[in-house]
Structure 1
Amino acid sequence: MTTNDDFAFRASARRTLKLEQQAIGALIVKLSEDFDRACRLILACQGRVVVTGMGKSGHIARKIAATLASTGTPAFFVHPGEASHGDLGMITPRDVVLALSNSGETDEVTALLPLLKRMGAPLISMTGRPDSTLALHAEAHLDAGVEREACPLDLAPTSSTTASLALGDALAVALLEARGFTAEDFALSHPGGSLGRRLLLKVEDLMHTGERLPSVILGSPLRDALLEITHKGLGFTCVVDNDGRLAGVYTDGDLRRTLDQHTDLRTLRVDDVMSHGGKRIRAEVLAAEAVKVMEDNRITALAVVDDDGHPIGALHMHDLLISGVI
């Protein structure tokens, strides 16, 4: 049963989401040359991006560091309080420091300014106040200011942390695109789980080869093609010419069309009813790409060919399912 309290809960949630949506939207007009400068500083960095922040900003800083690290920008988080008690040794002049503080006046963060200046590590600040101490002492300032928090008391960090998180994502993606970061690069830092399987596995890791590769020669009786499909169990067979190159494929779907169009199969040769050319793929491409080819063409199997067009393997949708690619 729905009560009035339930409507109040949803009304509160809608208000919060609307305020945070507005906070993120307002960031677009705040982007300036400082954002470009921050990107250039990070791209020129010979060390790592050291992200720091206190309290709720610290939680956001940890996430930004993780996002940067997984998208091609080596980064890690340093707690500003611990930095003043020994962890500053983790930072070198080759690094770039990204410091988060909504007020720009957080004591634990501003206390690092003289040490960072002496060390010579470039500083990028992300604050809600461009006139704050942290912003004024940074080589580049990212303005994450919001008009008000979603908290009805305008106290708990809500809109401000959401804005900082979104701005951190914008920074990471801008750097990703500037580096030409690819899906394979992404996979190298995500080897575990289904994501790793989807991104790291290649066609050559899953394809059937050798005696398991279905193949008949051009001119073979249709009966031979049907026996090859049955014995190899992949739902199709490659059809090769006298030089061993792929001339076409004959599939379960082709068989249905053959039965519709011909009453006597005994005199037919595979050339008469095969799909000329046939869909094919290279062994070195990602298995995820093979999934797209199959889905786009509504097929369940692919011939795998080498540089000269010789079949060297066969890939079935079932192999992709078992491996966890889909």
Structure 2
Amino acid sequence: MTSDTARSHPASTLEPQHALQLAQQAFAIEADALRACSDRLLQTQAGDAFVQAMRTILQAQGRVVVMGMGKSGHVGRKIAATLASTGTPALFVHPAEASHGDLGMVREVDVVLAISNSGESDELARILPVLKRQGVPLIAMTGGLQSSLARHADIVLDSSVAKEACPLNLAPTASTTVQIALGDALAVALLDARGFKAEDFARSHPGGALGRRLLTTVADVMRPGADAPAVSPDADFGTVMQEMSAKGLGATLVVDADRKVIGIFTDGDLRRLLTAGTDVRPLRAADLMHPNPRSIRPDALAADAARLMEDYRISSLPVTNPDGTLAGALNTHDLMRAKVI
């Protein structure tokens, strides 16, 4: 290592107590910045701007086009993703690329949300006149309330902070935290105004755990028709055990001549009878079964089946059609394989 390199990269020293103090100080500064932003919404000007921004977005026929440079750009990508996943169509357009053709992605029916802490980003400033000529509504999120961005904007969301959490007061820290929080606040308020439900969220997240829980039905995971163990009420003990073993559900259902479910007999029932010293050999299915078992319909959510099984501490569940006839069966292993539980 040369002497020049050594001077520009001095040896690091870690003082644990000092490091923890700086960490706590960063938390405190950012928490104060968030509280200040929250308090501003109670003031007429900031509150009106927030509601006006919501109204503009709700009335738009197109998308929210989010823009920002540097750290504000990273925040912008996150805000665009949050909006899109909560019912507000949105995308991110990089301001530098916008002036080289990507501005064509912005249509008159869209709304632009431009993010800049200073409000003086050169890349944003170059495209502001073009956006104004297009007649696209412009919402600014900035701490520079007298900046070029704020002057061009139709609506200004105040994201100013008293100071950054960076000890040098240079690196965007508290300011980006406020930007993220303000974007989240806008997204959740829009979500509520649109009547966006958990089911809607699941449809845009089909690969996630919530999507599986809210989109997977009992019919998707059950053992249908002939795969569901079932015997008649007069079946002998040997037949009952053979059906239980063959189908691997840990239980067998008892159905009448019309295939309506009238009872269930489980591995647990068998263990309890044997423990009590009961001679099960002469018994019929009608003697062994629990009558009128709890059941669920094929079009119910698999998550509802999991909840029912958990509430009543049962591991197997018959699936019945509206007329009570057997449609299938499932157990906790089926739900686990489908990653519903």
Query: Normalising by structure 2, what TM-score?
Result: 0.83
Match of 2:8 in 1: none
- Among residues 20, 27, 39, which one is paired with 1:10 in the alignment? 20
**Bigger CA drift: 26-35 or 157-166?**
26-35
Partners in 2 of 1:146 and 1:222 — Cα distance?
76
| Distance change (3 Å), C-alpha of 1:228 and 1:75 | same
State which drifts further: 164-173 or 87-96: 164-173
The unaligned stretches of length 5 or more in structure 2 are 1-12, 42-46
**In 1, Cα distance between equivalents of 2:265 and 2:55:** 54
Partners of 1:233 and 1:260 lie apart in 2 by: 22
1:194-224: CA deviation from partner (whole Å, max 9, x where unpaired) = 6655554332222111221112334555554
Equivalent pair of 1:218/1:242 in contact (CA under 8 Å): no
CA distance in structure 1 between the aligned counterparts of 2:289 and 2:182, rounded to whole angstroms: 55
User: What does 1:76-155 correspond to in 2, within 5 Å?
Assistant: 76-155=91-170
Which whole-Å deviations, capped at 9, do the CAs of 1:51-86 have from their partners, x for residues lacking one? 001111011001111121222222111111221232
2:72 maps to which residue?
A: 57
Q: Once the 2 structures are TM-superposed, how far is the Cα of residue 13 of structure 1 from its aligned partner? A: 1.7
Q: Which amino acid in 2 is paired with 1:143?
A: D
Q: Between 277-286 and 307-316, report the one with greater CA deviation.
A: 277-286
State which structure, 1 or 2, has the greater radius of gyration over its C-alpha atoms: 2
SS state at 2:153 partner: coil
1:154-193 matched pairs, under 5 angstroms: 154-192=169-207
Pairing 1:206–2:221 present: yes
Q: Partner of 2:296: helix, strand, or coil?
A: strand
Report which stretch shifted further, 44-53 or 77-86. 77-86
Output the amino acid matched with 1:27.
Answer: C
Residues 122-154 of structure 1 show CA distances to partners (whole Å, capped at 9, x for unaligned) of: 122212244444335433332222222111111
- Deviation, 1:282, is 2.6
Partner of 1:21: 31
Structure 1 window deviating more from structure 2 (288-297 vs 267-276): it is 267-276
Aligned-residue Cα RMSD (Å) equals 2.7
State how far apart, in whole Å, the 2-side matches of 1:41 and 1:276 are: 59
Conserved? CA contact 1:216–1:239, under 8 Å: yes
Aligned length: 324
Contact 2:225 2:326 in 1 (8 A): no
| Structure 1: tracts of 5 or more residues without a match | none
Percent pairwise identity = 56
CA 1:19/1:238 → structure 2, altered by over 3 Å: closer, same or farther? farther
Deviates more, 1:92-101 or 1:30-39: 30-39
Aligned: 1:37 with 2:55: no
